[in-house]
Amino acid sequence: MVDVEYLQLQLNDYCDELEVLRNLSKVTIKNYRQTNDYFIRYLKENNIDIDHKPDFVLKKFIIYLKKDKDNSYSTINKYLQQIIQFLKYLDVNVNIQLPKDNSKNKKIKYLRPDEVSEVLKTIPKELIRDKIIVQTLYRTGLRVSELCNLKKHDLDVNSTEKAIAIYVYEGKGGKDRTVYIDNKTLKLINTMVYKRTIKNMDGEEYLFTNRNGNRLSERSIQKIVKKYAIATDRRLALEGRQTNFKDRLTPHTLRHSFTIFLLNYSNKPINEVQQLLGHSNISTTQIYSKVDDKRIKQSYENINW
């Protein structure tokens, strides 16, 4: 019988296998654990036994995620894939079709360079950490989890180069890679660390910290970015300019914007952009080369027939 207590015990063994035998990253293992913990709590709270009709139970869980929790289909499918892998580890026979996800056909959300500048302009000068967070996300293409995990020794703060290497350890899929930041942003970073140091607020390891010197969480960074999205909308509204940064701007939007800027505005080779983003497959990067219809129109208008 596969009851919830058994599932919880087996989840620990499963995560050990992911770590030791499959050599997955800590971030990936954490995601698998959190997803399956969530599923096990759902079973327990609803007094459901997965041993009988697992496909039926998973269908009920899908309905719960969509109707009660309003999750997107892409999120639901990510959860289901992780849960199914765990159930297969337990030799539970699963034969369920994932919900159709039409979000892949939607246009990628991103900000133009002038729009990112407006957001940066909104951030008060004295809140240097917040400006660096937004600027670094935009100028490196880092994922928010990668930004949170940056440590001070991951970049050379004494560098005088125009492009300073940032070493990303265990990014998505457990892959290491190198990204780059410009020297103007590095100067801001050094100023931020110096101000924290003289106020005895500097943490020992992490680059981005809270007032206690502890690592900033992903949720904290998401809130910071959202705060300035709303503030920028309000500021520009006073100038008679209607924007919608509140619904468009997230840390991941800045990653999209970085990619669009390199491919569509700077004409950088797609294989270079792929490496900076940490995409395993170049087809993922190619999606971004097809989104800027406005620039295509402008380019067509400039054709001398």
Q: Per-residue pLDDT averaged across 168-174, rounded?
A: 76
CA angle, 225 as apex, 103 and 36 as ends, to 5°?
Answer: 55
What dihedral do alpha carbons 73, 75, 76, 78 form, nearest 10°?
A: 120
Using one digit for the tens of pLDDT, what is the confidence trace for 122-159?
999 999 999 999 999 999 999 998 999 999 999 988 88
Q: Are 171 and 143 in contact (CB under 8 A)?
A: yes
Q: Are 193 and 140 in contact (CB under 8 A)?
A: no
Q: Are 57 and 50 in contact (CB under 8 A)?
A: yes
Using one digit for the tens of pLDDT, what is the confidence trace for 217-263?
999 999 999 999 999 999 999 999 999 999 999 999 999 999 999 98
Taking the domain 4-104, which CATH number applies?
1.10.150
Domain boundaries, the chain: 4-104, 113-292
Task: Read off the amino acid at residue 249.
Answer: L
pLDDT reported for residue 116: 96
pLDDT reported for residue 106: 67
Going by C-alpha positions, the residue among 275, 14, 235 that lies closest to residue 115 is: 235
Task: Read off the amino acid at residue 3.
Answer: D
Asked if domains 4-104 and 113-292 share a fold, the reply is: no
Write the DSSP symbol of residue 100: P
Token pair of 127 as six digits: 């809140």
At residue 177, φ and ψ (nearest 5 deg) are -160, 175
| 62 has pLDDT over 90 | yes
| 187 has pLDDT over 60 | yes
- The set of catalytic residues is 143, 172, 252, 255, 279, 288
* Strand partners for 206: 151
- State the Cα–Cα distance between residues 274 and 270, nearest whole angstrom: 6
Q: Are 58 and 83 in contact (CB under 8 A)?
A: yes
* Strand partners for 155: 166
Outline where the chain has alpha helix (H). Answer: 4-20, 26-45, 54-63, 73-89, 113-122, 128-140, 144-148, 183-198, 218-238, 245-248, 251-260, 270-277, 282-286, 293-301
Q: Per-residue pLDDT averaged across 188-197, rounded?
A: 91
User: Which architecture does CATH list for 113-292?
Assistant: Orthogonal Bundle (1.10)
The confidence band for 203, taking pLDDT boundaries of 50, 70 and 90, is low
pLDDT reported for residue 39: 95
pLDDT reported for residue 105: 59
Mention every residue, 6+ apart, whose C-beta is less than 8 A from residue 214.
203, 206
Three-state DSSP at 198 gives helix
